[in-house]
Amino acid sequence: MSDEAPSFSVKSLDESMSADAPKKSTRKKRVVRTSLPKNKKQAQMARQLTQIYQDNDGRLPDMRKIKIKRSHPGLKTFFVVLIFGGLLSAAAWAGFLLMPNDKKFSENQINLNIDGPKNVTAGTTTTYKISYENNQNLILKKATLNVQYPEGFIFLSSDTNSKNSGHTEWDLGEIGAREKNEIVIVGLTYGSLNQKQSWRVFLKYQPENFGSELQKASILDVTIEKSPFSLAVNGPSKTLIGNASEYTFTVKKEYDSQINKLELKSAWPQNFFITSSSPALNKDNKWIIEPNKIISSSTANRWVFKITGKFSPAASGTLPQDGGSSGDISGALFTKVANSTFALANAKTTIELTQNDLDFNLAINGSLANLSSQPGDNLNITISLKNQSANDLKNVILKLALDAPSVKKQSLLDWAKLEDKYDGDVRGIQLNDALRRGEITWNKNKIPDLAKINKNKELSLDMRLPIRQLEENSTFNLSDLNTSSQITVLAEVSFKDASNISRTYSSNQIIITVNSDLKFETRDSVSADNAKHQIIWMLTNNFHHLKNLALSADIYGDVTVEPTATPTAGEVKYDSATKKIVWTIPEMPDSVDVLALPITITLNSINPTQELLVSKTHVQAEDAVTGEKLDFMGDEVGLNRP
């Protein structure tokens, strides 16, 4: 195709058109060029065509030099559709954006609020109002309200029925245009003092001109500002080591509440031991308070509890702090609601200790601290006293008290087998159905040196007292003691000082935890040719439920090991590569006295230098009553030589 531009002439349209026509005769062409339009309409058309095609100088294009390029109709159609679609989309968005305000959705026009007390007293009734508002001219469909309560909130009622049994969801249906409504919820609010909790509310809905669900949220923080009960701990801030001191715990009702049960837990340093409490502490060192009941130690809206105890000579000066409790006599007041525990009050008093002039100690089996033991063990007890004062001690009396579990007024301690060369006076006191005290007392009639202990003089006495074990024909049954497993031992000295004033001091207290009497025995039967050993591992237990038992040993030499495939309990595994055998038992109830595992070991070849067939057996178990681990070694199995 030629790129030559069209040329223009100054001829009129009629002339140009005539020039392009075939020349039949000069005369005829001249007639056509000079002839006039037949009517005005044709003349007007000729003028319009001339105006369209002529340029600014009045020239007309040379039609012979104009080239026509062919177009692509498919591409043209595509662009037309694209432009048309764009115009339609723009129109749609313009229609949406320019929609009148009464049909345009805005999340800011949805209001959700929680109104109610932000600072509350624990255990009181509280009311909260949840209000929601659709502040626009369209409907919110499929509306639901969900509430997440604070941990200590107990639902009581609402003015609109909830959808679920937990009273946390309400079906609102449709929320009309400009509609406002509310739900009122009443409940009890519990919590620890100064604890911050939160109400969380969620409104789910679908605007009428939307196809998806939207959500609005609101939060209200609530603080437990007050406790309906107060707690105070009072007692001497200074005390002498070994001297008895009394501490008082006072609980007072300050505000009305719905709390109907309280727990008061007391705590004290390790070297402080309780000699008495009023009312009696339970096994967790707690007192239980029911505010709606009157007990002997209380008056209206006031409850008083007391403990009496002594500090052992383990430290002097102000006791070191340990997590805010060591060195303090303290108390904490709790309430339990829906499996949650809330602290309502705390109080403490710090004790400053001063040394006395005596070095007075108690030791059992060589230990001054708490220890563990088993039925059948002997308690070797030593009391030592040294007068470090500047004066003599006169009319000294020594006393040893042992509080032990009992069955039918029979102590776990076997008092009939007591060994005491000074033959102290023994007295039995039944403290309660499960606890019996045995007291041994020595005075100058028993030990002449107690008449006067000169300054810097030392005195000690020893005795032995066994713990009962299972015996034939005995009326004492160890299995009846499953709920009690501790023996508490304390020594006391009293005398008159230089001013003839009576003084009484206590030694350190020792608590003996009596674990299961689990025992292990290995039995070995050998064939006539000494090539085969029938070994039995045997466990016996008559005291306490056991769990997580494990027995393991190594086997030596060129042997074939065949443990029984069906042990009396648990599972047995033998690793031929490491030659280690392990017997595991999930539990051994106190109703099961004996468990046994037969093992057959055959010697494939004889090693003349080999002396052991099976190593010492490692026995491990957990006492389910005391929670302590049992860990000891059993006997080994040797090779019998002809």
Per-residue pLDDT tens for 597-641?
999 999 999 888 888 999 999 999 999 888 889 999 999 999 865
Rounded to whole angstroms, the Cα distance separating 176 from 140 reads 6
Q: What's the token pair of residue 411?
A: 């102590």
Say what the pLDDT of residue 34 is: 42
Q: Does domain 229-354 have CATH number 2.60.40.10?
A: no
Paired strand residues for 622: 547, 629
Rounded to whole angstroms, the Cα distance separating 259 from 262 reads 8
Backbone angles phi, psi at 324, to 5 degrees: 80, 0
Task: Give pTM, 2 decimals.
Answer: 0.56
Say what the pLDDT of residue 53 is: 58
pLDDT at 324 over 60: no
Q: Which comes out higher in pLDDT, residue 223 or 309?
A: 223
Say what the pLDDT of residue 463 is: 96
Rounded to whole angstroms, the Cα distance separating 18 from 32 reads 8
pLDDT at 77 over 70: no
Say what the pLDDT of residue 99 is: 47
Domain formed by 107-226, architecture:
Sandwich (2.60)
Q: Is 177 exposed, middle or buried (0-12, 13-18, 19+ CB in 10 A)?
A: middle
Q: Which comes out higher in pLDDT, residue 241 or 407?
A: 407
Instruction: Classify 408 in phi/psi space as left (phi over 0), alpha (psi -120 to 50) or beta.
Output: left
- pLDDT tens per residue, range 237-296: 777 777 778 899 999 999 999 999 999 999 888 888 888 888 888 878 899 998 877 654
Say what the pLDDT of residue 528 is: 86
Q: What is the pLDDT averaged over residues 146-161?
A: 93
Q: Which residues contact 518 (CB under 8 A, 6 or more apart)?
A: 374, 539, 540, 541, 546, 619, 621, 630
Q: pLDDT above 90 covers what percent of the chain?
A: 50
pLDDT at 63 over 60: no
* Superfamily of domain 519-638 in the CATH hierarchy: Mu homology domain, subdomain B (2.60.40.1170)
Rounded to whole angstroms, the Cα distance separating 289 from 291 reads 6
Give the lowest-confidence range in 78-87, 315-324, 562-571, 579-588. 315-324
* Residue bearing tokens 């159905």: 433
Average pLDDT over the chain, rounded to an integer: 83
Q: Which comes out higher in pLDDT, residue 298 or 406?
A: 406
Q: Which comes out higher in pLDDT, residue 327 or 435?
A: 435
Domain formed by 358-514, architecture:
Sandwich (2.60)
Q: What is the pLDDT averaged over residues 503-516?
A: 88
Radius of gyration of the chain (CA): 51
Say what the pLDDT of residue 4 is: 45
- Output DSSP code: residue 413: B
- CA nearest neighbour of 491 among 480, 477, 505: 505
* Residue bearing tokens 């200790």: 353
* Residue bearing tokens 């009702």: 253
